[in-house]
Chain A
Amino acid sequence: MARISIDDDVRRNDAIEKASGLARYASDYFFPDMLYARMLRSKAPRGKIRKIQTPVLPYGYYFISAKDIPENGRNALHMISEDWRCFADGDVRYVGETIGLFVGPERSVLESLERNTYVEIEEEEPAISIDDAINVKGGPILEKDDVFCQLYCQKGRDMDEVFGEADKIIEETFETGFQEHVHLETNGAVITKEGEKYVLYISCQCPFYVRKSISIVIGAKDEDIVVRQSTTGGAFGGKEHFPDVLAGPLLVAEYVIGKPIKLIFDRREDMLYSVKRHPSKIWYKSAIKDGKLTGVKGKIYYNAGAYLSSSYVVLQRGVFHANGVYDIPSTYLEGFGMATNTFPSCAFRGFGAPQTLFAIEMHLTHIARRIGVDPVEFKRSMFLKKGSETVTNGHIVENVVLGSMLDDIATASDYWRKSREYGYGSGRGIGMSFYNHGGAFTGNGEQAIIKAHARLKKTGERVTIEVGSTEMGQGFQTTLRKIAAAVLEIPMENVDYPNPDTSVVPDSGPTAASRSTMIVGRLIERCAVEMKERWGEGDFSVEKEYEHPDGHPWDQSTFRGDAYLGYGWGACCVELEVDKRTNEVKVVGIWSSHDIGKAIDEKIVHGQINGGIIQSLGYASMEKMENKNGHFRQESMSDYVIPTSMDFPKQEYFLEDNPYEWGPFGAKGMGELVFNGADAAYVDALERALGVETFKIPLPSEDIEEALRKNGR
């Protein structure tokens, strides 16, 4: 067994286990006397519950609902605030809201109990779309209106003056749709008791979130609940807060019944009754003077659904990324998180940034075309640089190398020639987009909210990583072991990193926000440095607490200062051809360049780039999730389609070496970055091929037909 250095090519530690079927997912856990659970959900988007009539329950079967929450408990899941109820009580606010849980030994019996339960709901008019919510359709969902949260930020001069001086003003509205995570493993959890403690095996990103969120439901202390992450088959943000919605009702059931209980969603349930990416409506008005963009005003609306969950934070990220990667002299950006009666929207790779980044990219592309400049040339002239002021009046603290990233992909793709030759409307198009992603929690969240801890434990020659961060397919167990082993100069095989158990590991914060390598990786690097110095001391542990780098002022009450500790940067180029008979789009080339500081493991990074870009292209092209009267219309993997390996070609990728001062080995966040921009490159290329402008995604063939028809083609 060889010592490892950080640039070695290694095999993922979970590769064989997962490929061979040895890995144990939530549904693989069995306990003696284990019962199963099945949710009874609301079929109406909004209304008063008049009656719930279950069939007579056979012996050994239970129906658990809000009435079973003990007196010292609260009917709330504590995500960021406590608004999402564990069980609907008195009224329902979205289709799919948990009303109760059937529990018992046979799943077929549970299915029939659920099917034969009569829930009488006095329906009220729902608000489904952002426009419905703006118009307060059906009366206010909240106290006085449907605005869950709002914020604004302002940079530069007074906007009236800027628009007054402009010689051209361009105004556009963009819309993006729901997106479903389609993680390989559906949501699932098993709860049991060990002595007085409640123990959950759960597919999740954030074991400590689950614990905090549900303990209040039965009035327990956090320590009374032990969360053990079961090997998790994909997440993409869909398992950041949503597992709480399974765990809360399960905990109440366990409190009442006291036997092991398993709840596994099937694919249809996971599609219809889980969180989605926030649909958005984004309005920009831009001032142009002497061919230069002088100011942008924006109004950003996100559909948050029926409960707030993470939407305020998602909205903040959306607003803070709404200027793209550009230094626009004056901006005034407002964001609104709208309450509706759709399934709550929550975290999804990019966390609010992809929507605004898509909109600003398309807006600038359209402006460039209308003033007769190549969009890439136009955008390059405005790239943020080190020291540039951000929309939150903070500053970019790192070297921005977008220019050379652009050059790399322009050369590889032969962009300049093709851009000229293909023109506009020829059936062929090439497009480019630029994007970034602020690493880790917004503002001073890492310091003020999380205060992450991480621990390394030495036992003989072996070292165990003890963190709350989770592997969910992104490769973090391999990345973190590699960091520890490389610092300690020991073989990777000597480093263990079991799935976290909240009763064993310290809380290192959620596995979200592209923060794991950058923040937790750094903590483990620091632990390892100390452990290496003390290696001869026998068996011991080293634990470190997060230290905030100096020079990042932030005021959370006014949203002013450095919104992020640093950014990952990206540039993507897409080339495609459109079949003019059928509007089928064939992507023929994908080139990208990313600045992620440093790739800890290039194979894993490559996997993230490949997947993130394909996921973004799916978002732009085929992933259509419609909601009618509160019901999602797509309910299976054959009507909600995600790309297969047949849909997009092999990608060419570049990585920029630009070490980040506070990251392990110079690494910064990248998991979300790689999702943030391919959509706009695709639509840019598509618009060029078709010769028309478009204003919404996704754009399947039918919608392309419609766009063409609107333009008289």
Chain B
Amino acid sequence: MDEVKCFIPKSLDEALRIRKEFHAKPLAGGSDLMVSYYKGIGIAPVFPFPVMIISNLSDELGTIRKEDDGVHIGALSTPNEIASSMVVPYPVRKAASLMGAPSLRNTATIGGNIGNASPKGDLPQPLILLDAEVVLRSVDGERRMKVDDFILGSKKTALADDEIITGIVIPEVKATHYFYHKIGMRRANAISKLSLSALFDVEDGVVVDFRASSGAAGPKVRRSRDAEEILIGLKLDEVSGKTGEFLSAWNSILSPHAMPEYRRASTRRMLLGFIEEVASGALPGNYE
């Protein structure tokens, strides 16, 4: 029978050495890996690569805290931990709170969600809205890159074969209005058909910042800085006049193949709704 080489490191240093030497794939919550290699009842999954179970490392990789350069979320943080941490910005918190069902929200990890890089994964989308960075560590040192650059496509990342994701850093973002909405096939334990985040920062009636990102819409989370620019700098009462232009610029970045009419139309209507609400003077806060 095929054997799987499996390591259980006791420290991050040990994990990094194993990663370097054997290129063992990290297994955190296992809620993607175990499902992908499931073969049937009574049959142990056979991984065609060595694995290392890193769930013991939560002391080093499991904390969420605010630092000077932003909010640091350890790679082993679970959706439940993220959803209940008030230092985490709203769209990420909300996305985490709507993942799976209670058991999954205590099992899955943010590192796994990003490492898996599924287009249906819920966390990359709001992280990309917030220009979050992923922190990558190897025995040779640490590097950081935007989540948007780290995820290269469906199930493809820039992770080197000696690296581990140690965490995420969300830089300080100023926003007055947040929007997050996930559409699944049902209200719980549902994979996203579509998700959308957006934010406005309005100061003295002027749009200082505006961003939108759309998930489950194609191989990658979609954001368009060019489209966002259309609304930035406008006075609130000018926004309505420019919404059409923004929506068509936005529409053009969505791949028609990956985005059947329903999803495209719903994204459009949600954006329109949020923009109009803010333009008409909605109070600062979180919107769904």
A residues adjacent to B (C-beta < 8 A): 27, 36, 38, 106-108, 111, 264, 266, 580-584, 622, 638-639, 641, 643-647, 700-702, 705-706, 709
Q: Quick check: B183 and A107 within 8 Å, CB to CB?
A: no
Q: A638-B191, A644-B101, A646-B187 are in contact. Are A107 and B262 (CB under 8 A)?
A: no
B158 at the interface (CB under 8 A from A): no
Q: Quick check: B1 and A108 within 8 Å, CB to CB?
A: yes
Q: Which residue of B lies closest to A38 (CB)?
A: B40
Q: A107-B42, A582-B183, A702-B260 are in contact. Are A646 and B188 (CB under 8 A)?
A: yes
With the chains together, A584 CA to B191 CA distance in Å?
15
Chain B residue total in the interface (Cβ 8 A): 28
With the chains together, A107 CA to B46 CA distance in Å?
13
Number of A-B contacts (CB under 8 A): 70
| Selected interface stretch from B140-148, B218-226, B265-273, B278-286 | B265-273
Given contacts A36-B42, A705-B262, 10 further A-B contacts (CB under 8 A): A108-B39, A580-B269, A583-B266, A638-B189, A638-B191, A641-B185, A641-B190, A644-B101, A646-B187, A646-B188
A sample of 30 inter-chain contacts (CB < 8 A) reads A36-B42, A108-B1, A108-B39, A108-B43, A108-B44, A111-B39, A111-B40, A111-B43, A264-B41, A580-B269, A581-B269, A581-B270, A582-B181, A582-B269, A582-B270, A583-B266, A584-B183, A622-B186, A638-B189, A638-B190, A639-B185, A644-B101, A701-B193, A701-B262, A701-B266, A702-B260, A705-B261, A705-B262, A705-B266, A709-B261
Q: Quick check: B189 and A644 within 8 Å, CB to CB?
A: yes
Q: Which residue of A lies closest to B39 (CB)?
A: A111
Chain A residues, CB < 8 A from B185: 622, 639, 641, 700
Q: Which 7 A-B pairs have the closest CB atoms?
A: A581-B269, A646-B188, A646-B187, A702-B262, A705-B262, A107-B42, A641-B185
Interchain nearest-CB distance for B3 vs A (Å): 12
With the chains together, A176 CA to B272 CA distance in Å?
35
Q: Which residue of A lies closest to B181 (CB)?
A: A582
Chain B residues, CB < 8 A from A641: 185-186, 190
With the chains together, A638 CA to B266 CA distance in Å?
22
With the chains together, A644 CA to B189 CA distance in Å?
8
Of the candidates B187, B265, B273, the one whose C-beta lies within 8 Å of that of A644 is B187
Give residues 235-288 of B contacting A (CB, 8 Å). Answer: 260-262, 265-266, 269-270, 272-273
Q: Quick check: B186 and A107 within 8 Å, CB to CB?
A: no
With the chains together, A70 CA to B273 CA distance in Å?
70
With the chains together, A580 CA to B265 CA distance in Å?
11
With the chains together, A700 CA to B40 CA distance in Å?
30
Chain B residues, CB < 8 A from A709: 261
Q: Quick check: A705 and B42 within 8 Å, CB to CB?
A: no
With the chains together, A705 CA to B194 CA distance in Å?
15
Q: Quick check: A266 and B1 within 8 Å, CB to CB?
A: no
Interchain nearest-CB distance for A649 vs B (Å): 11
With the chains together, A584 CA to B193 CA distance in Å?
12
Query: By CB atoms of chain B within 10 A, which of A111, A638, A645, A706 has the most?
Result: A638
Interchain nearest-CB distance for A433 vs B (Å): 22
Q: Quick check: A701 and B269 within 8 Å, CB to CB?
A: no
Give residues 153-191 of B contacting A (CB, 8 Å). Answer: 181, 183, 185-191
Chain A residues, CB < 8 A from B272: 581
Chain B residues, CB < 8 A from A266: 40-41
Chain A residues, CB < 8 A from B261: 705, 709
With the chains together, A583 CA to B41 CA distance in Å?
38
Q: Which residue of B lies closest to A703 (CB)?
A: B262
B residues adjacent to A (C-beta < 8 A): 1, 39-44, 101, 181, 183, 185-191, 193-194, 260-262, 265-266, 269-270, 272-273
Q: A107-B40, A266-B40 are in contact. Are A643 and B269 (CB under 8 A)?
A: no
Chain A residues, CB < 8 A from B190: 638, 641
Interchain nearest-CB distance for A261 vs B (Å): 14
Q: Quick check: A647 and B1 within 8 Å, CB to CB?
A: no
Q: Quick check: B269 and A644 within 8 Å, CB to CB?
A: no
With the chains together, A292 CA to B44 CA distance in Å?
65
With the chains together, A645 CA to B186 CA distance in Å?
10
With the chains together, A195 CA to B79 CA distance in Å?
56
With the chains together, A583 CA to B263 CA distance in Å?
11
Q: Which residue of B lies closest to A107 (CB)?
A: B42
Q: Which residue of A lies closest to B184 (CB)?
A: A641
With the chains together, A641 CA to B192 CA distance in Å?
13
Interchain nearest-CB distance for B278 vs A (Å): 15
Q: Which residue of B lies closest to A36 (CB)?
A: B42
With the chains together, A581 CA to B43 CA distance in Å?
45
Chain B residues, CB < 8 A from A264: 41-42
Q: A644-B188, A647-B187 are in contact. Are A582 and B40 (CB under 8 A)?
A: no
Q: Quick check: A705 and B265 within 8 Å, CB to CB?
A: yes
Q: Which residue of A lies closest to B265 (CB)?
A: A705
Q: Quick check: B270 and A643 within 8 Å, CB to CB?
A: no
Chain A residues, CB < 8 A from B40: 38, 107, 111, 266
Q: Quick check: A582 and B266 within 8 Å, CB to CB?
A: yes
With the chains together, A706 CA to B44 CA distance in Å?
44
Query: By CB atoms of chain A within 10 A, which of B39, B43, B261, B273 has the most?
Result: B43
Chain B residues, CB < 8 A from A111: 39-40, 43
Q: Which residue of A lies closest to B266 (CB)?
A: A582
Q: Quick check: B186 and A644 within 8 Å, CB to CB?
A: yes
With the chains together, A643 CA to B185 CA distance in Å?
9
Q: Which residue of A lies closest to B183 (CB)?
A: A582
Interchain nearest-CB distance for B282 vs A (Å): 15
With the chains together, A700 CA to B190 CA distance in Å?
13
With the chains together, A38 CA to B42 CA distance in Å?
12
With the chains together, A643 CA to B188 CA distance in Å?
9
Chain A residues, CB < 8 A from B265: 705
Query: By CB atoms of chain B within 10 A, which of A108, A643, A647 has the most?
Result: A108
Chain B residues, CB < 8 A from A705: 261-262, 265-266
With the chains together, A106 CA to B42 CA distance in Å?
9
With the chains together, A111 CA to B181 CA distance in Å?
41
With the chains together, A622 CA to B189 CA distance in Å?
13
Q: Which residue of A lies closest to B194 (CB)?
A: A582
Q: Quick check: B1 and A701 within 8 Å, CB to CB?
A: no
Chain A residues, CB < 8 A from B262: 583, 701-702, 705-706
Q: Which residue of B lies closest to A188 (CB)?
A: B41
Chain A residues, CB < 8 A from B187: 644, 646-647
With the chains together, A124 CA to B46 CA distance in Å?
37
Interchain nearest-CB distance for B190 vs A (Å): 6
With the chains together, A358 CA to B134 CA distance in Å?
52
Chain B residues, CB < 8 A from A582: 181, 183, 194, 266, 269-270
Q: Which residue of A lies closest to B263 (CB)?
A: A702
Chain A residues, CB < 8 A from B181: 582
Chain B residues, CB < 8 A from A107: 40-43
Query: By CB atoms of chain B within 10 A, which of A582, A622, A709 has the most?
Result: A582
Q: Which residue of B lies closest to A642 (CB)?
A: B186
With the chains together, A701 CA to B44 CA distance in Å?
38
Q: Which residue of B lies closest to A636 (CB)?
A: B35
Chain A residues, CB < 8 A from B260: 702
Chain B residues, CB < 8 A from A38: 40
